[in-house]
Chain A
Amino acid sequence: MKILGISAHYHDSAAALVIDGVPVAAVQEERLSRRKNDAAFPLLSIEWCLDHAGIEAGALDAVVFYERPMLKFDRILTCALRAFPRSWRAFPKAMKNSLGEKVWVRGVISSYLGVPARKVLFTEHHQSHAAAAFLTAPTPRAAILTTDGVGEWATLSIGLGARRPDGAASITLLREVRFPHSLGMLYSTFTAYLGFAVNEGEYKVMGLASYGRPTLVNEVRRLIRRTADGAFALELDYFEFHTTAQRSYSSRFIDLFGPPRSPYEPIDLQTAEGRRFADCAASVQFVLEDTLLGIARALRQETGLPDLCMGGGVALNGVANARILAESGFERLFVPPAPGDAGCALGAALYADRIHFDNPDREVPDHPFWGPAVDGSALAQLAHEDRQVCDELDDSELIDRTADDLIAGRVVGWMDGALEFGPRALGHRSILAAPHAAEMRDRLNRDIKYREEFRPFAPAVPIEAADRYFELPPGGARLARFMSGVFPVRPEWRTRLAAITHTDGTARLQTVEQSMAPRLHALLESYGRRSGIPVLLNTSFNLAGEPIVNRAVEGYSTFRRSGIDVLVAGRTRVVKRASSAMQQEKIACSRSVAR
Chain B
Amino acid sequence: MNHSGLSGYPRCKCRARPRFLNGYNPSVADFLMEMMRILLRPLHRWVWLDAARRARKLLCFAETEADGGRHLVRAAEVTPDPLLRRLFLFHARDEQRHAELFRRRGAALLHALSAPPRCGYRADWLAPGERGLDDLRIEELEDGALLAFLHLSEKSAATDFASYRDVLQRDPPTRAVFEEVLRDEAYHMNYTLSQLVRVSAQRHRLLLWRARLSRLWKGYLRVAIALAGVISGLVLTILYFTLLVPFALLAKRLAWREPTGWLPVSSERNASLDRQY
Contact = CB atoms under 8 A, between A and B. Distances in A.
A84 B252 contact: yes
A34 B70 contact: yes
Contact of A231 (B237, B247, B261): B261
Contacts of B87: 589, 593
B120 interface: no
B190 interface: yes
Contacts of B232: 92, 96
A274 to B, nearest CB: 14
B66 interface: yes
Interface string B247-265: 1111110010000111111
A272 B184 CA distance: 40
B82 A259 contact: no
Nearest to A385: B82
Nearest to B88: A557
Contacts of B241: 85, 88
A448 to B, nearest CB: 13
A34 B74 CA distance: 8
Contacts of B83: 589, 592
Contacts of B77: 34, 551, 553-554, 557
A262 B115 CA distance: 12
Contact of A123 (B66, B233, B264, B273): B273
Nearest to B260: A233
Contacts of B245: 84
Nearest to A159: B265
A561 B93 contact: yes
Give the interface size bracket for B toward A.
35 or more
A231 B82 CA distance: 59
Interface in A570-592: 585-586, 589-590, 592
Nearest to B117: A262
A246 B187 CA distance: 40
A68 B236 contact: no
A510 interface: no
A173 B76 CA distance: 48
A282 interface: no
A121 B233 contact: no
A560 interface: yes
Contact of B70 (A78, A545, A595): A545
B2 interface: no
B218 interface: no
A91 B107 CA distance: 32
B231 to A, nearest CB: 11
Given A175-B262, A557-B73, A592-B83, A82 B240 contact: no
B200 interface: no
Interface stretch (A8-16, A176-184, A403-411, A517-525): A176-184
A586 B90 CA distance: 8
Nearest to A126: B265
B210 interface: no
Interface in A503-562: 545-546, 551, 553-554, 557, 560-561
A1 interface: no
Interface stretch (A222-230, A326-334, A452-460): A222-230
B86 A589 contact: yes
Nearest to B277: A70
Contacts of A402: none
B103 A264 contact: yes
**10 tightest Cβ-Cβ pairs between the two chains A and B:** A84-B248, A227-B261, A81-B251, A70-B277, A264-B107, A92-B236, A233-B260, A121-B273, A385-B82, A231-B261
16 contacts: A71-B277, A88-B237, A91-B236, A91-B244, A105-B276, A121-B273, A175-B265, A176-B263, A176-B265, A230-B261, A351-B273, A385-B85, A386-B86, A551-B77, A553-B77, A593-B190
